[in-house]
């Protein structure tokens, strides 16, 4: 079951990442979102593109960071991909996400939800970085788990979008709440996993403390 869950996680993360890269590379900006959001996207194109491609990069690299076998066999690549994940993925994606959150469709509910997501993403990335700089691999893993649960909001947002649409709820009603529903359950799951599961997944392995 655990292996199946990992395969599903990788499939969803990679699928959304490739979709985002393809859609925002080959289609006009705003053409694949709801018409009510199109003008906002076009008015803040730079921030949107930065956020989309940075978040896609984080989705692509994130699952790899949790593979113990890959870490042990490729410690140097783990360190470099971790740098790219945190700097180009989380830092760039978080700052650009915070910027475009101020113009999000859905009023203050959406703006506050997406803003807090961006801040939590940046904060957990910073804490993961600080932990590895102290050679605290145990807490580095915990903060990385929290961080990737927020990276995965890109996936859960699209799942929730499909569920609400299938249920017949109008876009104007449900979209503001997606700004909270796409990441709060993910963060709660991460905290539950960290607090209740065995510490085994977070034990130190062959990755050197100088990883960042």
3-class DSSP state of 30: coil
- The larger pLDDT score, comparing residue 169 to residue 1, is at 169
Cα(33)–Cα(54) distance, integer angstroms: 19
For 91-102, what is each residue's pLDDT tens digit?
999 999 999 999
Local confidence band at 201 (pLDDT 50, 70, 90 cut-offs): very low
pTM of this structure: 0.89
Domain count, the chain: 1
Instruction: State the residue range of the domain holding 36.
Output: 2-211
**Cα–Cα distance, 107 to 103 (Å, whole number):** 8
Chain-centroid distance of CA 132 in Å reads 20
- pLDDT digit string, tens, across residues 62-98: 988 887 777 788 888 888 999 999 999 999 999 999 9
What beta strand segments (E) does the chain contain? none
- Give the mean pLDDT of 129-154: 95
**Percent of residues, the chain, with pLDDT higher than 90:** 73
Query: CB of 151 within 8 A of CB of 55?
Result: yes
Distance separating alpha carbons of residues 109 and 201, to the nearest angstrom:
36
* pLDDT classification of 198: cutoffs 50, 70, 90: low
Sequence-ordered strand ranges (E) for 71-134? none
């Amino acid at each position: 079951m655990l292996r199946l869950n990992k395969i599903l996680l990788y499939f969803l993360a990679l699928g959304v990442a490739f979709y985002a890269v393809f859609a925002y590379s080959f289609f006009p900006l705003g053409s694949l979102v709801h018409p009510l959001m199109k003008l906002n996207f076009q008015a803040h194109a730079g921030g949107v593109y930065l956020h989309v491609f940075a978040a896609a990069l984080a989705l692509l690299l994130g699952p790899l960071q949790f593979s113990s076998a890959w870490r042990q066999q490729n410690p140097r690549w783990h360190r470099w991909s971790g740098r790219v994940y945190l700097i180009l993925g989380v830092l760039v994606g978080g700052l650009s996400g915070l910027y475009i959150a101020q113009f999000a469709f859905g009023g203050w509910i959406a703006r506050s939800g997406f803003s807090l997501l961006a801040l939590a993403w940046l904060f957990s990335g910073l804490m993961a970085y600080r932990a590895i700089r102290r050679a605290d691999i145990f807490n580095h893993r915990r903060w990385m788990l929290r961080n990737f649960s927020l990276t995965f909001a890109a996936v859960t947002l699209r799942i929730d979008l499909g569920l609400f649409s299938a249920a017949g709820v109008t876009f104007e009603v449900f979209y503001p709440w997606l700004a909270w529903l796409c990441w709060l359950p993910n963060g709660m799951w991460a905290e539950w996993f960290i607090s209740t599961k065995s510490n085994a997944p977070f034990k130190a392995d062959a990755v050197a403390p100088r990883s960042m």
